[in-house]
Amino acid sequence: MNAVTTTSDPAATVLHLRCHRPSFDVYRQVFTVLADTTPVVQALPPDSALLQLGGAVRYFDKSPAELADVLQTRLAGRLGLVTTGGIGVSRLYATIAADTARPSTVQVLPDDPAAARAFLHQQDIRLLPGVGPALEKKFRRYGIDTVGDLAAVPTATVQRIAGASTGRLLAERAAGTDRRTITAAGPPATIASTRRFDHDVLDPAEIRRALLHLALDLGARLRAAGQSARAVELQVTYADRSTTTRSRTLREATSHSPALRDVLYAVFGGLGLERARIRAVTARIGGLVAAGHTGGVQLSFDAATEAARALEPVLDRAAARYGSGAVAPAALAVARGRPGWTVGADRRRTW
Amino acid sequence: MSAHLHVASGYSVRYGASLPAALAERAAERGVTELALTDRDTVSGVVRHAKACAAAGVRPLFGADLAVGLAEPTAAAARRRSPARGGAFVDESAPRITVLARDKAGWANICSLISAAWAARAERGGGQPVVPLEVLAGLTEGLTVLLGPGSEPVRALAAGRPDRATQLLAPWREMFGPALRLEAVHLGRAGTSPGSLRLAARTVGLAADLDLEAVLTNAVRYADPGQSPVADVLDAARLLRPVQPGTTCNGERWLKPPAAMAQLADEVAEAAGQGPGGGRRLLAVTARTAAECRLDPKSDLGIGGVRFPEEDRLGLVPGTSARVLRERCESVLAERGMDRDPEAVRRLAEELEVVTGLGWSTFFLTVGQIVADFKAAGVRVSARGSGAGSLVVHLLGISAVNPLQHGLMIMERFLSFRRRSLPDIDVDVPADRRIDCYRLVLDRFGTSRVAAVAMPETYRVRWAIRDVSLATGLPPEEAGRLAKAFPHIRARDARAAMAELPELRQTAERAGRYGDRFWDLVEGLDALPRGSAMHPCGLLLSDDTLLARTPVLPTPEDGLPMSVFDRDDIEDLGCLKLDILGNRTMQALSYALSEVERTTGRTIDLDDAEQVPLDDEAAFALLREGESLGVFSIDSPGQRDLLGRAQPKCFLDLVVQLALFRPGPVAADMIRPWLAARHGRQPVRYPHPDLIPALAPTLGVLVFNEQVAKVISMLTRTDLAMGEEARRALSRPERLPALESWFRACAAAAGYDQRVIDTTFAQLKGMGAYGFPASHSAAFAVITLQSAWLKAHFGPSFYAGIMEAEPGMYPLRLLLADARRHGVPVLPVCVEASGAGYRVETGPDGREGLRIALAAVKGITDQEVERITAARPFTSVPDLWERARPSLPTAQHLARIGALAAVPGGTRPRRDLLLLLDELHHGRRSAAVPDQLALPAPAESHAPTGLPAMTPGQELDAELEVIGLDASRHLMAEHHDLLAELGVTPSTRLREVEAGETVLVAGAKVAIQTPPQKSGRRTIFVTLDDGADGPPVDLAYFSGPEAEASAHTLFHCWLLVARGEVQRRGRSVSVVGRRAWDLAELARVRAEGGTAAVRALLAEPGHGDASYPHGDRRSGGPGGAGRMWHASPGAAG
């Protein structure tokens, strides 16, 4: 891990790059492209990356804007991604520049601190990192609509409004100071699996079937990669495209499908959904560690659990030989895709 | 003989898919001879069922499908966690039984059971209406009960537990004895689920084992086999979730013909292991069960009879009501000295003859008693409608209008031997006292005789689309968009509307992707009830058998008893119905009078002609100036314009004007001839000298319903009652041709020449559209005059009243501007001075001003208002926070509009106050933790915070957002410099401008209307308030390319600048609009680019209907408390 402090470097060499709707897998690949230009790349999931271009400017003898242009082209070429970016002297400036850039362009802020600050002060208060919806509403009530308005208010008053530490931080940022560093770090390792329904599902049995399917899928992928997971996240998508997300951290890392299944069932049960119209469920597992590094496995005296664990390698081999799903729990053998009560010319209902 | 014993109609809300008429018709077609109506948890369809069956020739049976309590409550279910999203399932777990009424006692018991179920539901605070078993046990007389698949014993049977079923049946055998039936339902469903052959067979088998009788029903939900998808949609709408695959209705629950039922019976008997006689036995028991139900719609339900409250409730000896009515009327006649007027005596005799002849004297005495009760409770009462034209109604003190005064009103408009239905007497009471009035009636006559009337909400296109979308799983926002695209039309017209209406063109293009099925379902829901609400004004009265004839449900808000029947049913059931309407102007008048009394000590009786003369000069002067804002029913732009043209001088002028501006007289083009005759520009003309008596009071012009009746009866030589019947036929297009030939024949026979007949009939035809009877118009004119009188003599109190009651169409801020214009200072909200309501307050300069109410603050609760008024004066802002305990948002609202300025320490900048409040709030929150030392409130720091001060514009915005009013100053004031620069003519100077001259006018939009025009083209009427001292400016944009180019601006912007030509008619001045601009945009452009930019904007062609970005937040409207302008199609004319 190497950290680079930007405060000593007055030139605008920090690039904030945002991809337009990258899928989970594509986003991971972005970093292979970016790593060719600079080693100091920090992932900001789900769609952004932060780059310190200071070294690359000297190495390639190109301006930051030119480097950004190359990166945009490469990402477009290799991954088909549309990207928008901003370049500034610090992470704060780069982020705001990216937030205010026209789509698919890179906005470069001037090196001159006074000019950059003038730009910063024009911006809407909502764009200042650290200002969420609640704080934005509060600031507006106090007549603070732009970053410049905030900079004009004494720090003591900002602290009265936003609390001592947040207030000090925001007052500093409004003045153009950002103490955050850029730390080289790739995206967190996670694996995700999704099940979509072609109609609104309310039936808990059907959801549990989908969750079982997710657990089997994720477990098989974990074991194939020789890894174990420590965190499980369940995201439920509803008919109005809104979502609910709940996560659980496991006591010990696991790669066993029954264990994942039980966690998913428990998390879903905790939501207590009854009439919610569910359109999709997504499970993500994170905190991945190599299976050998888990530091021992809690032994179980439960014969069923032991049997399931013993069976797992067999099932995996069967899947490897005959394709996934060749052997599956009986619950999944129920015919899926029953006629749905959906509308649309392409999905004509059949009742 | 063939009977269906278990049939749900559409009145089983969101359950049954066919209305009673369709069911009865199909039953007759298919040879079903006895048809029961057993709706779920209600009997609101029985009157229609009875009538439909009588029409179709089927014998009706009456019953209900009821949810009942569990005999063995399952172990109290652990409190379920509330779902993170989407809400909980709709609970329908209670077992269901079907009861049928064998006789009158059974019917009374059904009514009581339903009342009990809904009362129990109200007590629990929601859920299913479930009949408690102990109530059921006491009300079994006259009832036959069917225990079907939904009941507890048969459920046990389905679960494979005949032993438990036997056990559970014991209490039912005890309760109902020989009237107990087991109900087998064979819908061909799988396994042992409800409706499966196996369960039906087990039911029949159990009945045989236990020596009980079993019947076969089809648990009908719809008339025709193809309607099961509609039932599925209704299930989805009821359970609030999409249709789930596998739970849909299988299409068997239709009204099957006898042969099909016999086939089912054989299958069930065979499956139950009975011989071929089993099926016949099953059908025979079914037929016998139906035959035992001997309830007669006429004698037992009371359809067709008339029931008034007993005379002893009025303190009368039974049988004396006719005499008492006569005596009472005659004594009042003598009191008023009218007994020497032969016309009055003759009229009274005529009316009494009709009333007593029809046996309705109790009806009049009852209403008289109710009105007397209201008056005794200090409630202002005014009769409206045709009832005000009756002398008896006047003499009983129900109506203040003397029908003989103007020679216009006739009794026949109200009652005659030709009209045998009970007449309507409608009374207006102040809007805030309406529920009190209901309670007064309840107190006098008791809950056994009085109930509110229900109003079924039926599916129209928007809800039909929403519910079909829910069923089919369309995303909610898409469903909402689709539904809102439609105007409020019938569901069955959905496709026709898409084909015809231009505004639906875009929707129609997308409609195909939902499929034909979708639109079939939408149209299939048409007219089915989807809920029921309390009628906004109807009350029914009956004798004390009411509760045996109708179930009553407690209304959700007020807990008033409400009958399940609607207005039409009530009429058929022979109950007296009384409309008690909440009238906001009357509320305003009452409030204003109390303010006058509070501030001056004077008590005014508005109804006393000595104190408030009906031709008060000051009031009429005000009206002639067009200053009628806030005055009852005469402040719309059209009426104001008519005031300026007509220049009313006496009460009769008002009566005529109120009735003139209605669709009927407008369609018959009566306004212009009346004005011309009135101002002597044309001589008064009559179609024929015979019509002079009828038309003289209105200068030869047809205005009132009564005149129409008189003209018809005169020309056709028939009596007035016939004339009135003919008048009613005028508004029915299907009756018009017959009427015309009858009229022409009679008039020709009477010797009138063709020209007279032609012109008169043309006018009469136009009057077929809605118009007023003179009685109604006169009753309204009294309130109009009273409010004008108050406005002229007690301005501040009048404004306090109308601000409090919000009558009329305009936004409150216009009324406030009107007050300011009439020299009434407006005092802003102040925690030290404002009351709960608007108050008249004497300012330091001795002038009476209007203090804005605390209740006007957005989101403030009554408790907060009470605490603030009780705890003042305050010593500091923290003191107010501690003792008045406002919620944080309320305190913030108060601080932002400067309402804390009078509190010591409250004069600092408003944003500093906000910060202080935030800190006090955090202090309270942390102190709320128990066992923690209560820290003293943070020392109030007076050091400046450095926060930007609110600009005047922001202060105004805050006022508009918080109280919806520009209280501190007129909102146009900030633009006055710009307007002066543009050369905009202020409203004060508009009267000096020559007609035809082009002017610029400006202002905040207060009303926009697009009434249907005879030409079919769109005319946009806009009213602007410009903050100068003149009256609001009325503009008319006639259809044309220029108007269309301005239309978007007119509809969507709030502050407007308009160019047009001045038009004068009488004393009325208006502007014929040509162009319009958004003032907020002009102001922004002026600030950014100077006058050159303004010129460029003014020179631009219009925006057309394309949308464009708004420069200013306020250009599209403030989005604050209350509405800022009135928008409606408006009235024709």
With the C-alpha atoms ordered B79, B80, B82, B88, is the resulting torsion angle positive or negative?
Answer: negative
Q: Which of A231-245, B841-855, B972-986, B1105-1119 has the weakest average pLDDT?
A: B1105-1119
CB contact under 8 A, B240 and A142: no
State mean pLDDT over A109-130.
Answer: 92
Helix (H) or strand (E) holding B802, with range, is helix B795-805
Q: What is the pLDDT of residues A275-310, one digit of tens each?
A: 999 999 999 998 888 876 555 566 667 788 778 888
Hey, are the CB atoms on A271 and B85 less than 8 Å from each other?
Answer: yes
Averaged pLDDT, B763-771: 84
Q: Which two tokens stand for residue B903?
A: 């509190």
The answer to whether B474 contacts chain A (CB < 8 Å) is yes
Sort out which chain A residues have CB atoms less than 8 A from B244's CB and list them: 202-203, 341
SS3 B354: helix
Share of chain A above pLDDT 70, in %: 89
| pLDDT-based confidence at residue B638 (cuts at 50, 70, 90) | confident
DSSP 8-state secondary structure symbol assigned to residue B699: T
Contact B85 A342 (CB under 8 A): no
Give the Cβ contact number of residue B315 at 10 Å: 9
Chain B: residue nearest A154 by CA?
B946
Q: Cβ B473–A240 below 8 Å, yes or no?
A: no
Q: Which two tokens stand for residue B126?
A: 């929601």
pLDDT tens sequence across B565-621: 998 888 888 888 889 999 999 999 999 999 999 999 999 998 888 899 989 999 999
Cα–Cα nearest to B427, from B393, B389, B394, B398:
B398
* Closest chain B residue by Cα to residue A345: B513
Cβ–Cβ under 8 Å, residues B340 and B404? no
Tell me how close the Cα of A143 comes to any Cα of chain B, in angstroms. Answer: 6
Q: Shortest CB distance from A339 goes to which of B241, B245, B946?
A: B245
Higher pLDDT, B1067 or B984: B984
Confidence of residue B422 (pLDDT cuts 50, 70, 90): confident
Residue among B85, B90, B482, B950 with most chain A CBs within 10 A, to mutate: B85
Size of interface A-B (CB pairs under 8 A): 132
User: How far does the CA of residue B244 sit from the closest CA of chain A (Å)?
Assistant: 7
Cβ distance B553 to B564 under 8 Å? Answer: yes
How many residues belong to chain A?
Answer: 351
CA–CA dist A308, B120 (Å, integer): 52
pLDDT at position A339 over 60:
no
Q: What are phi and psi of B758, to 5 degrees?
A: -60, -50
**B477: closest chain A residue by CA:** A240
pLDDT band at B1 (very low <50, low <70, confident <90, very high): low
Of the two residues B1013 and B781, the one the predictor is more confident about is B781
Pairing of strands A83-88, A106-108: parallel
d(CA B568, CA B959): 47
Would you state the pLDDT for residue B521?
94
- The more confidently predicted of residues B1011 and B30 is B30
Cβ-nearest to A274 among B83, B244, B474: B83
Q: Does A102 touch chain B (CB under 8 A)?
A: no
* Helices within B13-103 (DSSP H only): 20-30, 46-56
Residue B459 has pLDDT above 60, yes or no: yes
Check CB contact under 8 Å for A344 and B513. yes
How far, in Å, CA of B806 to CA of B815, rounded? 9
- CB-nearest to B948 from A149, A339, A342 is A149
Chain B: residue nearest A199 by CA?
A: B473
| Mean pLDDT of the region B197-204 | 95
What is the reported pLDDT for B66? 96
Torsion angles phi and psi, residue B486, rounded to 5:
-90, 145
Residues B431, B434: Cα–Cα separation, whole Å = 6
> Which residues in chain B touch residue A125, judged by CB atoms under 8 angstroms apart?
none
- Residue B829's contacts (CB-CB under 8 Å, 6 or more residues apart) are B852, B853, B854, B856, B857, B894, B897, B899, B963, B967
Question: What is the tens place of the pLDDT at every residue in B931-981?
Answer: 444 444 455 566 778 888 888 888 998 999 999 898 888 889 889 999 999
pLDDT at B1105 over 50: no
- CA-CA-CA-CA torsion sign (B979, B983, B989, B991): negative
Residues of A in contact with B231 (CB under 8 A): none
Q: Does the CB of B519 have a partner CB in chain A at under 8 Å? A: no
Q: Which of the residue ranges B244-253, B521-530, B1013-1022 would you say has the lowest mean pLDDT?
A: B1013-1022
Instruction: Quote the CA–CA distance of B32 and B1092 in Å, as a whole number.
Output: 84
Q: CA-to-CA distance for B805 and B592, rounded, in angstroms?
A: 10
> SS3 string of B103-154?
CHHHHHHHHHHHHHHHHHHHHHCCCCCEECHHHHHHCCCCEEEEECCCCHHH
Question: Exposure of B142 by Cβ count < 10 A (0-12 exposed, 13-18 middle, 19+ buried)?
Answer: buried
Average pLDDT of B20-40? Answer: 95
Residue B321 in tokens: 């009501």
Chain B, 241 to 270: residues with Cβ < 8 Å from chain A are 241-246, 248
CB contact under 8 A, A157 and B945: yes
pLDDT digits (tens, 9 = 90+) for A199-223: 888 888 899 999 999 999 999 888 8
Q: How far apart are CA B632 and CA A28, in angstroms?
A: 71
What is the pLDDT confidence band of residue A1, given thresholds at 50, 70 and 90? very low
Q: Cα separations (Å) of A42 from A49, A84, A131, B280, B437?
A: 6, 16, 21, 84, 72
Q: Which of B852, B854, B851 is nearest to B867 (CA)?
A: B854
| Average pLDDT across chain A, whole number | 85
Alpha-carbon gap, residue B18 to B260, rounded angstroms: 20
What's the helix, strand, coil split of chain B in %, to 5?
Answer: 50, 15, 35
pLDDT tens by residue, B298-341: 888 877 778 888 888 888 888 899 999 999 999 999 998 888 88
DSSP state of B300: I
CB nearest A141 (choices: B515, B914, B949): B914
Q: Which is nearest to B874 in space by CA: B787, B930, B940, B801? A: B940
Q: Provide mean pLDDT across the span B761-782.
A: 88
Q: Do A142 and B947 touch (CB under 8 A)?
A: yes
Nearest to B817 by CA among B964, B1022, B954, B639: B964
Range with top average pLDDT, A63-72, B633-642, B1120-1129: A63-72
**Nearest-angstrom CA–CA distance, A109 and A116:** 6
Q: Interior CA angle at B356 toward B352 and B362, to 5°?
A: 105
Cross-chain residue pair B473–A203, CB shorter than 8 Å? no
Partners of residue B472 in chain A, C-beta under 8 Å = 341-343, 349
Q: Helix H segments across chain A?
A: 24-35, 54-60, 64-79, 91-100, 113-122, 133-141, 147-152, 155-162, 164-174, 204-225, 257-271, 303-322
pLDDT at A116: 92
The neighbour count for residue A171, using CB atoms within 10 Å, is 20
Task: Give the residue from B710, B730, B720 showing the smallest Cα distance to B770.
Answer: B730
Indicate if the pLDDT at residue B458 is higher than 80: yes
* B862 has pLDDT over 90: yes
> Which pLDDT score is estimated for B352?
93
Which ipTM did the prediction report? 0.74
B947 neighbourhood in chain A, CB within 8 Å: 142-144, 153, 157
* pTM for this entry: 0.85
To the nearest 10 degrees (0 to 180), the angle between helices B515-524 and B461-472 is 130
Which residues in chain B are closer than 8 Å to A341, comparing Cβ atoms? 242-245, 248, 471-473
Q: Does B80 touch chain A (CB under 8 A)?
A: yes
**CB B440: neighbour CB atoms within 10 A?**
19
How many beta carbons lie within 10 A of that of residue B383, not counting itself?
26
CB contact under 8 A, B947 and A141: no
Q: Is residue A32 pLDDT above 80, yes or no?
A: yes
Residue in chain A closest to B82 (alpha carbons) equals A272
* Interface residue A152 vs chain B (CB under 8 A): yes
- Residue B88, chain A, CB below 8 Å: the answer is yes
Going by C-alpha positions, the residue among B1027, B708, B713, B962 that lies closest to residue B828 is B962
| Residue closest to B439 by CA, chosen among B424, B429, B451, B431 | B451
Residue B1069 near residue B1062 (C-beta atoms within 8 A): yes
| Beta-carbon separation of B83 and A157 below 8 A | no
Interface residue A273 vs chain B (CB under 8 A): yes
Out of A153, A202, A241, the one facing B244 most closely (by C-beta) is: A202
CB B962 within 8 A of CB B896: yes
CA distances from A260 to A25, A231, A347 (A): 22, 10, 34
**B247 pLDDT exceeds 60?**
yes
Of A143, A200, A273, the CB nearest to B242: A200
Nearest Cα neighbor of A248 from A264, A272, A227, A236 is A264
A272 and chain B in contact, CB less than 8 A: yes
Q: Do B88 and A345 touch (CB under 8 A)?
A: no
Partners of residue A271 in chain B, C-beta under 8 Å: 83-85
pLDDT confidence band for B235 (50 / 70 / 90):
very high
Kindly tell me if the per-residue pLDDT of B855 is higher than 80.
yes
Reported as a single tens digit per residue, the pLDDT across B1048-1085 is 888 888 999 999 999 988 888 899 999 999 999 999 99
Whether B667 contacts B766, CB under 8 Å: yes
| Block residue for tokens 């603070």 | A144
Q: Do B919 and A203 touch (CB under 8 A)?
A: no
Query: What average pLDDT score do residues B767-787 get?
Result: 90
Over residues B425-431, the mean pLDDT reads 92
Q: Are B414 and B387 in contact (CB under 8 A)?
A: yes
- Pairwise CB contact (< 8 Å): B88 & A160: no
Residues 915-974 of B with CB under 8 A from A: 915, 918-919, 945-950, 954
| Closest CA of chain B from A26, distance in Å | 29
B476 touches chain A (CB under 8 A): yes
- DSSP assignment, residue B297? I
pLDDT at B801: 96
CA B853 to chain centre: 27
Shortest distance between the Cα of A100 and any Cα of chain B, in A, equals 19
CA B342 to chain CA mean position, Å: 43
Residues of A in contact with B242 (CB under 8 A): 199-200, 202, 239, 277, 341
Q: Which residues contact B12 (CB under 8 A, 6 or more apart)?
A: B39, B40, B41, B42, B65
Q: Report the mean per-residue pLDDT for chain B.
A: 88
> DSSP readout, B806-844?
--SSS-HHHHHHHHHHTT-PEEPP-TTT--SS-EEEE-T
Span B1009-1034, average pLDDT: 81
Q: Binning pLDDT at 50, 70 and 90, where does residue B1106 land?
A: very low
Residue B1132: its pLDDT value, please? 43
Closest chain A residue to the Cα of B90, Cα to Cα: A275
